[in-house]
Homo-oligomer: A and B are copies of this chain.
Amino acid sequence: MADTLKGNAVVGQSGGPTGVINASLVGVIEEVRKHADIENLYGAVHAVAGMVKDDFIDLGQIGTDTLETVAASPSSALGSSRDKPDEEYCRKIIEVFKKRNVRYFFYIGGNDSANTAHILNTVADETDYNIRAFHVPKTVDNDLLVTDHCPGFGTAAKFVAQALQGDDLDNRALPGVKIDVIMGRHAGFLTAATALGRQRDDDGPHLVYVPERPVSMDKFLADVEGVYNKLGRCVIAVSEGICDTDHKTWAEKLAENEERDAHGNIQLSGTGALADFLAGQIKTNLKIKRVRADTFGYLQRSYAGLQSQVDVDEARQCGRQAVKFAMEHDSGSVAIQRTGDGDNYAVELVRTELKNVAEKTKSIPDEYINADGNGVTDAFVKYAMPLVGGLPKTEYLGTYPKI
């Protein structure tokens, strides 16, 4: 338990946007207003990039109607940044914090953001400037440790599940091979979620490839041929981070795009190269004429007007809980614990240390991937289904008995 600490607060949003990162922001804002120890709440414009140059807006003046619109809007309403601050960068931020008497810091983001909060807290301690640093989890990749799942995943999962429901019906109507490339550099949760909307035995995606299961081109082609020969069509969900048996990603092998971001990652989203490469392999090797490939791209993380209600509610609660924790603790990350499942799905929010989340990633557990490494298990569906907040029922008539 920490003593009472009076001062101002900063909140920021970092990394790739999601459909509910703004709900977490609103959760922070509305909870801060309940605590007299926090006088002003400053929104960091473009995350650490704004913090280091003293670039803030006043979040105390925003009306509740506007806040509700913010909570329903995708992307990061304060702006984001891909900067990865080192200690020197963080020392500059702490100077800004001192000038503004910022004593509370809430950072909504992935594992890099947890690390930033951790460094900021450490640097502040070193200069005997007391701050409370809290991380609020978000990522469509669902790859943070400790937490059962990440706010942002459920909404992205809903988007891709409904996309595949539609795409599978499209593929029934005009049969062929369809490849859909899904976000997820290292973790395949979102790619796996494409399977959530399946209703009929022969519904697609028929093959699901995640980064956790390297696959050779020969195996990939044999899988596709097997499904195509059986059903006369094949819908495939492939993670952008899919890799060959030598663990090198196919996207890297393409080497068509050498751009790397500040974190040393190669660009995978925002290009159709991988999808087109895979389509070309199938056309050339399997002699299947109608092969199409879509790369879902940024629609997965920032589509307006489509949220999982469960995800929105949890994201907002995580923001609120971070503020509550900050009243009593020095630092931490909010984690979701699942306390009930199925119809009794329920969660509790707990605090974990920043270092437990910082710079680490979670992969899909083995029991969520089938033995053949090309599909998901019922255990995954049971895990992920409550997070999407319901999926539409669909119907296809073309397979009804002939008259």
Q: Which residues of A approach B to under 8 Å, CB–CB?
A: 13, 16-17, 19, 22, 42-43, 45-46, 55-59, 62, 66, 69-70, 72-82, 162-163, 165-167, 169-170, 172-174, 178, 197, 259, 269-273, 275-276, 279, 289, 291-299, 301-306, 391-398, 400-403
Contact = CB atoms under 8 A, between A and B. Distances in A.
B77 A395 contact: yes
A298 to B, nearest CB: 5
Given A58-B403, A70-B395, A299-B299, 9 more contacts: A19-B166, A45-B402, A57-B398, A73-B392, A77-B169, A163-B304, A167-B302, A169-B304, A294-B298
Contacts of A66: 395
Given A269-B292, A397-B70, A402-B55, A170 B276 contact: no
B169 A73 contact: yes
11 contacts: A42-B403, A72-B394, A74-B169, A75-B172, A75-B173, A163-B299, A163-B304, A166-B304, A169-B302, A270-B291, A272-B293
Contacts of A16: 174
B394 A304 contact: yes
Copies of chain A in the complex: 2
Contacts of A79: 172-174, 398
B162 A305 contact: yes
A303 B391 CA distance: 12
B298 A295 contact: no
Q: Which 8 A-B pairs have the closest CB atoms?
A: A272-B272, A270-B292, A294-B297, A75-B169, A165-B304, A79-B398, A170-B302, A305-B392
